[in-house]
């Protein structure tokens, strides 16, 4: 078979052969760069202790540190840079912490128990959403009395607007923890629930989206089929049986959503980009956008004439939510980063990450760091890595510059610890130069064969900027995150510690006291 070698920059150069710019050869370039960074860091001594009027949480599902680094390089290379020197939007946040992601019953977590932690402030069992660890997965009768509320509800109780934007279905694990209480993350509609759960009175997650917090101003993502009666044809794919409605209760939840809105409010349901763009957002009080029957299409495969990007959805959401003088809480999920990794399709996962970073950049332009706390984090990592002593500027999807010294075959820089990319040809590892390893659907080689690649168990990064962002520092339990956000906004459990609009003056004094204490210790010792 003829080798298929994609065009890639510096594909096979040895690191010592990489062409460096003249400025990078000059030590003064690096010294000046470091001095500029130092000046920015020194300015952080003046902490932002304002009350957060707005909170935006960007959640990259499965966006571990290796994914962030690889996406940084990719985004730079898409701009004709070598890549490594690039800075993502999230890289430019002044405060960074690490989050411990384990579930109460799992060393390596899932997206439901983690969502409960970073949205509800309570660690939980894997597979459960919006409930405490007293709930056993799939056991409906353990739910009652063990429900926990989320920061989205705390924001609504304080008079703020709220929004959910995701590239998965709106009743998937991450968004569902914001509004639902379910013993099983897979109870998308009543069709997926066991009879005993229905008999015990447990509700499916799609129904809870419209029952539990009825006045969420913005909801956008996928998941249409869970909102319609069983066998209802989908508006976009009428001939596809797999996209037909699933509900056994014969209800259209879209109608339920519309009918519950006050008559003096404008509620709009849209299912494609054209309908979304036609809206006069100054006259939209409630927006429900369901753009796919299940999850949204990968960014690389997206039809930009019919399907909105994550950035486009975020722009609409912020415009609507910003009209509330009391502010808003917005949850934005780059959910298909996770799906790309599970499928072993690193190219899909990394382009999803870049698109989420684009949305973060847009949010920066549309809001002020003075009154908006922005937090970017992940629920968990993946067994995704890249290495192989690749030279500077090597395509992030390219080959390592050497062959294996064991089986004498080339390998890509990107690899997975396990997953569907494990392939043998005549009992030996596949020669990757015989396939198009730059293709969007290429499944990177893995060490252990699995139909789906697994999550990773290591800590994930937390990036923060805005009011009280400095409280996210060091290594924290994942459930600490919503408590910081609530404290910054004076909502939820922390609603009484400051007056609306007033600075966190007592907190602002803490760094000074700490400095004086440190000086005292130096004098004593």
Is residue 476 part of an annotated ligand binding site? no
DSSP string over 186-224: T-SSGGGS-HHHHHTT---HHHHHHHTSTT-SEEEEE-G
Is residue 455 part of an annotated ligand binding site? yes
CA–CA dist 259, 516 (Å, integer) = 60
Q: Is 21 among the residues known to form the active site?
A: no
Is residue 307 part of an annotated ligand binding site? no
pLDDT in tens, 199-237: 999 999 999 999 999 899 999 999 999 999 999 999 999
CA–CA dist 44, 48 (Å, integer) = 9
Catalytic annotation, pick one of 21, 66, 99, 111: 111
Give the domain ranges of the chain.
54-385+454-507
Q: Rounded to the nearest 10 degrees, how much is the dihedral formed by the CA atoms of 488, 489, 493, 494?
A: 60
Two tokens at 207? Answer: 């129904």
Is residue 204 part of an annotated ligand binding site? no
User: Helix or strand or coil: residue 459?
Assistant: coil
User: Helix or strand or coil: residue 169?
Assistant: strand
Is residue 174 part of an annotated ligand binding site? yes
With vertex at residue 176, the alpha carbon angle to CA 492 and CA 180, rounded to the nearest 5 degrees, is: 65
Q: Which residues pair with 399 in a beta bridge?
A: 412
Please compute Rg for the chain using Cα positions: 24
Two tokens at 484? Answer: 């910081």
CA–CA dist 181, 176 (Å, integer) = 8
Is residue 499 part of an annotated ligand binding site? no
One digit per residue, the tens of pLDDT, for the chain of length 525 reads: 334 434 333 334 444 445 667 888 899 988 998 999 888 888 887 899 999 999 999 999 999 999 999 999 999 999 999 999 999 999 999 999 999 999 999 999 999 999 999 999 999 999 999 999 999 999 999 999 999 999 999 999 999 999 999 999 999 999 999 999 999 999 999 999 999 999 999 999 999 999 999 899 999 999 999 999 999 999 999 999 999 999 999 999 999 999 999 999 999 999 999 999 999 999 999 999 999 999 999 999 999 999 999 999 999 999 999 999 999 999 999 999 999 999 999 999 999 999 999 999 999 999 999 999 999 999 999 999 999 999 999 999 999 999 999 999 999 999 999 999 999 999 999 999 999 999 999 999 999 999 999 999 999 999 999 999 999 999 999 999 999 999 999 999 888 777 555 677 544 444 444 333 333 433 444
Is residue 342 part of an annotated ligand binding site? yes
Q: How many CB atoms lie within 10 A of CB 86?
A: 17
pLDDT in tens, 309-328: 999 999 999 999 999 999 99
Look at the domain 54-385+454-507 and name its fold.
Alkaline Phosphatase, subunit A (3.40.720)
Is residue 268 part of an annotated ligand binding site? no
């Amino acid at each position: 078979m003829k080798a298929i070698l994609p065009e890639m920059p510096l594909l096979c150069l040895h690191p010592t052969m990489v062409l460096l710019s003249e400025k990078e050869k000059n030590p003064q370039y690096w010294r000046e760069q470091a001095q500029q960074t130092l000046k920015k860091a020194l300015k952080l001594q003046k902490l932002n202790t304002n009350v957060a009027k707005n909170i935006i949480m960007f959640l990259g599902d499965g966006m571990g540190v290796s994914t962030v680094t690889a996406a940084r390089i990719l985004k730079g290379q898409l701009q004709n840079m070598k890549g490594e020197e690039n800075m993502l939007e999230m890289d430019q946040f002044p405060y960074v912490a690490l989050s411990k992601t384990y579930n109460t019953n799992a060393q390596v977590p899932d997206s439901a128990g983690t969502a409960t932690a970073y949205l509800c402030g309570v660690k939980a069992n894997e597979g459960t959403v919006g409930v405490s660890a007293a709930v056993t997965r799939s056991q409906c009768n353990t739910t009652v009395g063990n429900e926990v509320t989320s920061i989205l509800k705390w924001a609504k109780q304080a008079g703020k607007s709220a929004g959910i934007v995701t590239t998965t279905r709106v009743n998937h694990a991450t968004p569902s923890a914001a509004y639902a209480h379910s013993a099983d993350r897979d109870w998308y509609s009543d069709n997926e629930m066991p009879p005993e759960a229905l008999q015990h009175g447990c509700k499916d997650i799609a129904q809870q989206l419209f029952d539990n917090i009825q006045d969420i101003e913005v909801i956008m993502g996928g998941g249409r089929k869970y909102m319609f009666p069983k066998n209802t044809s989908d508006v976009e794919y009428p001939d596809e049986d797999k996209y037909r409605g699933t509900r056994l209760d014969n209800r259209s939840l879209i109608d339920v959503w519309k009918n519950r809105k006050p008559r003096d409010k404008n509620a709009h349901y849209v299912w494609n980009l054209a309908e979304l763009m036609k809206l006069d957002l100054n006259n939209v009080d409630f927006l429900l956008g369901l753009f796919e029957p299940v999850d949204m299409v990968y960014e690389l495969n997206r039809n930009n004439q019919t399907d909105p990007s994550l950035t486009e959805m975020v722009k609409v959401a912020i415009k609507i939510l910003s009209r509330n003088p009391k502010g808003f809480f917005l949850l934005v999920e780059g959910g298909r980063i996770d799906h790309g990794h599970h499928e072993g399709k690193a190219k899909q996962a990394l382009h999803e990450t870049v698109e989420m970073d684009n949305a973060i950049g847009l949010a920066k332009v549309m809001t002020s760091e003075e009154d908006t706390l922005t937090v970017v984090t992940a629920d968990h990592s993946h067994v995704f890595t890249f290495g192989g002593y690749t030279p500077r500027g090597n395509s992030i999807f390219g080959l390592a510059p050497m062959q294996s010294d064991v089986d004498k075959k080339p390998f890509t820089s990107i690899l997975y610890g396990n997953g569907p990319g494990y392939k043998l040809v005549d009992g030996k590892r596949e020669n990757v130069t015989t396939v198009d390893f730059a293709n969007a659907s290429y499944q990177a080689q893995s060490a252990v064969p699995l139909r789906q690649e697994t999550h990773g168990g290591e800590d994930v990064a937390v990036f923060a900027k805005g009011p009280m962002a400095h409280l996210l520092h060091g290594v924290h339990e994942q459930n600490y995150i919503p408590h910081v956000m609530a404290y910054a906004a004076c909502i939820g459990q922390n609603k009484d510690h400051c007056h609306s609009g007033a600075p966190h003056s007592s907190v602002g004094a803490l760094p000074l006291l700490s400095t004086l204490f440190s000086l005292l210790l130096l004098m004593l010792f």
